[in-house]
Amino acid sequence: MSLKSQDKEIYDLIQRERKRQAETINLIASENFASREVMEALGSILTNKYAENYPRKRYYGGCEVIDELEELAKERVRKTFGLPLDWHVNVQPYSGSPANLEVYNALLEPGDTIMSMDLASGGHLTHGSPVNFSGKNYKFVHYGVSEKTGRLDYMEILKLADKINPKLILCGYTAYSREVDFKKFREIADKVKAIAMADISHIAGLIAGAAHLSPFPFFDVVTTTVHKTLRGPRAAIIMCKDKYATAIDKSVFPGMQGGPHENAIAAIAVTMKEASTSSFRKYAEQVVKNAKILAQSLQDFGFKIISDGTDNHLMIVDLTNKNISGLEARKLLESAGIVSSQSPIPKDPRKPWDPSGVRLGTPAVTSRGMKEKEMSKIAAWIAAVITDPSIAAKVKQEVKRFTKNFKAPGL
């Protein structure tokens, strides 16, 4: 019995998606290729098991193996991120969005003030967007980036914090390309006696691979997804100082979630083992090298990059000088086999659905073994297609041939 013989419709859709992934260049900064091993854990018999609550306190029988598994996953998270001894780990959040809401729910009352980055400057929906649960239930006040440099302005963030006295300061971004000075955030939080929270979803793999400064031990709480630069399953982790452990655990279960996805937790454990190897360090280093070359090459073709470059895995291309919107550019590039996401630029005059930029990232192409030379080639294709849309179909064929030389893990 197999999916192929039992459910051809779904099997065929998976094969079509596999082909799409194999034959295109994926520059979506939040995506990656999970290994076969990660997927083996994710698709294992662990999906059969209910295990509400935490190890040794379950509401269901038959959890002795699951308890061991969840403890091992937590231990590996500790090791991979080098967590201080007085930190606690929760590996049950279903994904990044619930993880963030679970932290707010644990440490704040509805209506409390949170300071975070606005969406256009690089924040996430769960960082207080008015259309999100976060923005509807807490009072968010946003900081942005400096208009001049496109970077965080720590003096301005301090001034704003001083003025509004937030109960929690959130540092962590979906579309910010510069290294974050975590220590400065700690100092600002201390000055106004706020809880310091970091959402490292995007850069967690770089942190694990020592290609970005670590937020530990400067913060009180850290959340991360596992499926972006970390190359793991779609899942999330909350790490916090011991004094917040009980509140965080209660907020995850029973506060917001039911039974944990133990298959995802096993896949988190596999990811953590992979992310603590020397080859993962090399990977993280190459992700950053590739992003820098991609940004530089695009600049050489006259593209504007917010903050003039990148220190991490992503860049925001401001298309206002190219006479094309973010949505149009995304669609055009996709017709040439290059997949990206539209993105707002700071203080974007356009709407989020069709903003002024695209976000490009190198985690997925680096997982396929692409290096500096390939980044220059990709930049040349992007420039050529944006300049002359009529060549998109031809470039798509070239991209298809090109991708054959770079096997994606897990495909």
Active site residue 199: yes
Q: With contacts defined by CB under 6 A, name the span among 41-49, 136-144, 197-205, 292-300 that binds ligand PLP.
A: 197-205
Binding of residue 118 to ligand PLP (CB under 6 A): no
Which residue has 């041939």 as its token pair? 401
Active site residue 271: no
Contacts of residue 407, Cβ cutoff 8 Å, sequence gap at least 6: 368, 369
Crossing angle, helix 326-335 and helix 392-403, to 10 degrees? 60
Minimum gap (Å) between residue 100 Cβ and ligand PLP: 6
E-state strands within 92-202: 113-117, 139-143, 168-171, 195-199
Active site annotation includes 94: no
Residue 385 near residue 336 (C-beta atoms within 8 A): yes
In whole angstroms, the minimum distance from the beta carbon of 237 to ligand PLP comes to: 11
Task: Pick one of 21, 53, 95, 113: the residue that binds ligand PLP (CB under 6 A).
Answer: 95
Question: Is 201 near ligand PLP (CB under 6 A)?
Answer: yes
CA 330 → CA 124, 292, 346, distances in Å? Answer: 20, 21, 18
Which one-letter DSSP state was computed for residue 285?
H
Which one, 314 or 319, has the nearer CB to ligand PLP?
Answer: 314
Q: Is 214 in the site for ligand PLP (CB under 6 A)?
A: no
What residues contact 280, with CB distance under 8 A and at least 6 apart? 205, 208, 209, 274
The least CB distance from residue 9 to ligand PLP, in Å, is 27
Within 14-73, the residues that bind ligand PLP by CB under 6 A are 30
Of 174 and 310, the one with the shorter C-beta distance to ligand PLP is 174
Q: Determine phi and psi for 194, rounding to 5 degrees.
A: -100, 160
Q: To the nearest whole angstrom, how small is the minimum distance from the Cβ of residue 21 to ligand PLP?
A: 18
> Do the beta carbons of residue 205 and residue 231 sit within 8 Å?
yes
**Residue 197 beta carbon to ligand PLP: minimum distance, rounded to whole angstroms:** 11
What token pair was written down for 356? 């002024």
Q: Which residue is nearest to ligand PLP (CB)?
A: 96
DSSP state of 407: P
* Catalytic member of 225, 229, 310, 362: 225
Residue number with CB closer to ligand PLP (209 or 337): 209
Size of the site for ligand PLP (CB under 6 A): 14
Q: Please answer whether residues 34 and 227 qualify as being in contact, where contact means their C-beta atoms are separated by less than 8 angstroms.
A: yes
Pairwise CA distance, residues 168 & 196, whole Å: 6
Which string of x and - marks every residue 317-356 that binds ligand PLP (by CB under 6 A)? Answer: ----------------------------------------
Place of tokens 């039974």: 259
Assess 126 for contact with ligand PLP (CB under 6 A). yes
Residue 218 phi, psi (nearest 5): -75, -20
Judged by the rule CB under 6 A, the positions of this chain that interact with ligand PLP are: 30, 95-97, 100, 124, 126, 172-174, 199, 201-202, 225
Residues with catalytic function = 50, 52, 199, 225, 228, 234
